[in-house]
Chain A
Amino acid sequence: MGTHTVITMRNAMPAAAEVERSDAQASNSAANREFYKSRVPIHPKLVHGTYRRIKWIVMAVTLAIYYVVPWIRWDRGPHAPDQAVLVDLAHERFYFFFVEIWPQEVYYITGLLILAAVALFLVTSLFGRLWCGYACPQTVWTDLFIYVENLIEGDRNARIRLAAGPWTASKITKRVSKHATWLVIAVLTGGAWVFYFTDAPALAHDLIAGSAPLVAYGTIAVLTFTTYTLGGMMREQVCTYMCPWPRIQGAMMDKESLQVTYRIDRGEPRAHYRKGETWDGRGDCIDCRQCVAVCPMGIDIRDGAQLECINCGLCIDACDDVMPRIGRPLRLIAYDTDANVLRRQRHEKERFRFVRPRTIGYAAVLGIVCLIMLGGLVTRSSIGLDVIRDRNPNFVQLADGSVRNAYTLKLMNRADKPRDFYLTLDGVDDRRVNIIGLGFVTLPVKLSVEADKVRAVRVLVTVPRTGLHAGSQDIEFTLRDAKTGEDRKADAVFISGAN
């Protein structure tokens, strides 16, 4: 039957050579999915087209960001490192261009993670799993690894032949050079990661000289292993079996979300096509299986939306390559919505509803979190003041009946120069203040803090028996910059033990 098909096609359609046919089977289809089935290797065919081009560009940009960012310099003066983006674990600082975050401000990181999550929610509800198809590191690196494979071993058919063929010298050479290249990429991936955690040029020198810390080599080794296995060996299995995001994203999509869709209303019934035949009473799909051959996830998009699909659009490119050759319009496979398929089947006009309660909700949350983050960054003080009250003992009664509370104050100077501050205390009038190291002092008292440092000061506040009113009194410490007048307040309580 196969022979028959080929012969008739060749006879009837001189253009048959233009439309390449494939016998590609979807290895991940519902029809042949069963438990305990070993993985069928996927050999995606290289494709050209709009979305492939976008994927190349996204790959170039994301890889460039990853590799270049640690090398960008940013002058912060003599007291701080000059690396634009640096996670300085040893000194407990995170530098991001003009922002310097202390461990106490970890909520900025939390905010950033919330932003990333909500942005993903919004994008997913609008355009489906765009993140998975284009920007996810797993996708970018797998794409890169497949590209290398394609360069060394050839395209899909050559790779299938190579895999099935005997171990000749040529096969060994190809396999060894492929794995060697992958390993080089993997090492460079891990190698770039460590630069985010310490001064990049110095570390690069140490790494090559062999004098870098063991943890740097260890990190590179671990990331080399994960990159090599996840990008080279496991590939689509990471998305299908390991990653929780696809499952969560399923909850954000609805029938109005854009996703890679085989327009079943236009394509079916599918059948092989011979040139000159009428298109009446049949669909546009000629069952050339090019969409299956190029799919990196090993699915047949014509089976409908599937959990494996990462929305990368490579099947769109493949189909768009075929359609003009048979004189049919583009986008038999396209970014489309389930709702539109239904509308066309009902002969209604198709439309895209980007503004929906769900997207409005996500956008609103995104906007609010953005505003909060922005507000937090803009009003961020260069002074920090934390008050830690002694709780053991809660208060101390002195010989003359007066009561004393002890506080440890953390004075934080986030500026890149030493500063003088004035400390004042409000809320209790009749009090005596003793600062350990300075003795009894009259407020406001001047305290200096070194650049980019925290100074802990122990403050004892004593209130005579006559000055005690409530069991617990609200008080407020204020730390004011001696020069600029910028200040920071911190609330505390004074506990007298009186009822």
Chain B
Amino acid sequence: MSKPDIDHVSGTETTGHEWDGIRELNTPLPRWWVGLFYLCIIWAIGYWIVMPAWPGITGYTHGILNRSQRDVVTAEVDALKAARHARETELAHASLQQIQSNPDLLQFAMAAGRTTFADNCAACHGAGGQGGHGYPNLNDDVWLWGGTLADIEHTITVGVRSTDPNTRQSQMPAFGRDGILKPEQIDDLTEYVVHISGRAANAPAVARAAKLFADNCAACHGPAGKGNQEMGAPNLTDNDWLYGPTRADIRDQIWNGRGGVMPTWAGRLSPEEIKALAVYVHSMGGGE
């Protein structure tokens, strides 16, 4: 071996390589770094043997442990289900009233219902069930289809204007759009609805619309406009307006006869989840 070539400026040994008069200093990596690097290689080889690692044409090498994150998640979910099993069985067998009167079960149902609500209902009804324009507020005491525990459970199960054969179903005609009533008649009816909700209205128009209301609206909304939960017809005499309280809102609704849609949740949620959800929704405002 020849004597190592020392760079006279830095005093460092060179590798002996030279390019156009430029020589490379030999400054090796720290030994601990190199050690770690080799350790990583050894670790990687062990990893290939033990864990799933190499992709193939139709599959992959499974490794000795045959570990899969999907299996891990499934096992965790199963463990969670097993832990919840006792309470869920209890929930499945208890009536809605029994759930409400047992503090422990109520707490469990509320917790389960809250999650289910956030995942499935909050998109339309809002995170706190506060509703919005065209979406009922679940916190108040106005219930289109009834606000008892049983009513709520049934509505969730079959939905409103949904694909379920037993769905809650009602349809307000589009009196203006379909030409059932003349525009001026609809103006009069608007005044009438404003009048029965306890606000000041154009008296001659109200008088003209009385017969119109009896002929066209009373069948569902009732002769006094108090609504009918059997048909999902809202009470027109209270302070609660699904599509807005102004004359323009009311006229718009008579003209177009809008009705919202809620899907059926039977089949998507288990009966226990629907039960817990009903208890949770009922707890928002105490139902009816």
Please list the residues of chain A having a beta carbon within 8 angstroms of any beta carbon in chain B.
390-393, 396-401, 404, 406, 434, 436-437, 439, 455-456, 458, 460
Are A396 and B139 interface neighbours, CB within 8 A?
A: yes
CB proximity of B165 to chain A, nearest CB, Å: 32
Residues of chain B with a CB closer than 8 A to A458's CB? 110, 283
- B285 interface contact, C-beta 8 A: yes
The 7 closest A-B pairs by CB, nearest first: A392-B128, A399-B238, A393-B130, A436-B283, A396-B139, A434-B286, A398-B141
Query: For chain B residues 103-133, which have a beta carbon within 8 Å of chain A?
Result: 103, 106-107, 110, 126-128, 130
Partner of B285, one of A392, A401, A406: A406
Are A392 and B103 interface neighbours, CB within 8 A?
A: no
Please list the residues of chain B having a beta carbon within 8 angstroms of any beta carbon in chain A.
100-101, 103, 106-107, 110, 126-128, 130, 137, 139-142, 235, 238-240, 282-286
Partner of B140, one of A390, A399, A437, A439: A399
Are A404 and B140 interface neighbours, CB within 8 A?
A: yes
Given A401-B239, A460-B285, answer yes or no on A396-B126 (Cβ-Cβ < 8 Å): no
Are A436 and B100 interface neighbours, CB within 8 A?
A: yes
Are B285 and A396 interface neighbours, CB within 8 A?
A: yes
Residues of chain A with a CB closer than 8 A to B137's CB? 393, 396
A165 to B207, CA, bound (A): 118
Given A392-B127, A400-B238, A401-B239, answer yes or no on A436-B286 (Cβ-Cβ < 8 Å): yes
The chain A residue sitting closest to B239, CB to CB, is A401
User: Could you list 15 examples of A-B contacts with CB < 8 Å?
Assistant: A392-B127, A393-B126, A396-B139, A397-B239, A398-B142, A398-B239, A399-B140, A399-B142, A399-B235, A399-B239, A404-B140, A404-B141, A406-B284, A434-B286, A437-B100
> In terms of DSSP, what is the predominant structure of the interface of chain B?
loop
Residues of chain A with a CB closer than 8 A to B106's CB? 436-437
The chain B residue sitting closest to A396, CB to CB, is B139
Among A390, A397, A400, A436, find the residue whose CB has the most chain B CB atoms closer than 10 A. A436
Given contacts A397-B140, A406-B284, A434-B286, 17 further A-B contacts (CB under 8 A): A391-B128, A393-B128, A393-B130, A393-B139, A396-B139, A396-B285, A398-B141, A398-B142, A399-B238, A399-B239, A399-B240, A406-B285, A437-B100, A455-B103, A455-B107, A456-B107, A460-B285
Residues of chain B with a CB closer than 8 A to A399's CB? 140-142, 235, 238-240
Residues of chain B with a CB closer than 8 A to A437's CB? 100-101, 103, 106
Are B140 and A398 interface neighbours, CB within 8 A?
A: yes
A237 to B126, CA, bound (A): 58
A238 to B96, CA, bound (A): 63
CB proximity of B153 to chain A, nearest CB, Å: 16
CB proximity of B136 to chain A, nearest CB, Å: 12
CB proximity of A411 to chain B, nearest CB, Å: 10
A404 to B284, CA, bound (A): 11
A54 to B236, CA, bound (A): 88
Are B283 and A390 interface neighbours, CB within 8 A?
A: no
A400 to B239, CA, bound (A): 7
CB proximity of A80 to chain B, nearest CB, Å: 20
A203 to B128, CA, bound (A): 45
Are B126 and A392 interface neighbours, CB within 8 A?
A: yes
CB proximity of B233 to chain A, nearest CB, Å: 14
A406 to B141, CA, bound (A): 13
Residues of chain B with a CB closer than 8 A to A401's CB? 239
CB proximity of B199 to chain A, nearest CB, Å: 12
Partner of B130, one of A392, A404, A436: A392
CB proximity of B102 to chain A, nearest CB, Å: 8
A393 to B140, CA, bound (A): 10
Partner of B139, one of A406, A455, A456: A406
Residues of chain A with a CB closer than 8 A to B127's CB? 392
Residues of chain A with a CB closer than 8 A to B235's CB? 399
A143 to B127, CA, bound (A): 60
A396 to B240, CA, bound (A): 11
Residues of chain B with a CB closer than 8 A to A460's CB? 285-286
Are B239 and A404 interface neighbours, CB within 8 A?
A: no
Among A396, A406, A455, find the residue whose CB has the most chain B CB atoms closer than 10 A. A396
Residues of chain A with a CB closer than 8 A to B140's CB? 396-399, 404
Residues of chain B with a CB closer than 8 A to A398's CB? 140-142, 239-240
CB proximity of B101 to chain A, nearest CB, Å: 6
The chain A residue sitting closest to B285, CB to CB, is A396
Residues of chain B with a CB closer than 8 A to A456's CB? 107, 110
Residues of chain A with a CB closer than 8 A to B239's CB? 397-401
CB proximity of A466 to chain B, nearest CB, Å: 15
Residues of chain A with a CB closer than 8 A to B128's CB? 390-393
CB proximity of A296 to chain B, nearest CB, Å: 27
Are B100 and A404 interface neighbours, CB within 8 A?
A: no
Are A404 and B142 interface neighbours, CB within 8 A?
A: no
A390 to B286, CA, bound (A): 14
A430 to B238, CA, bound (A): 21
Residues of chain B with a CB closer than 8 A to A392's CB? 126-128, 130
CB proximity of A433 to chain B, nearest CB, Å: 10
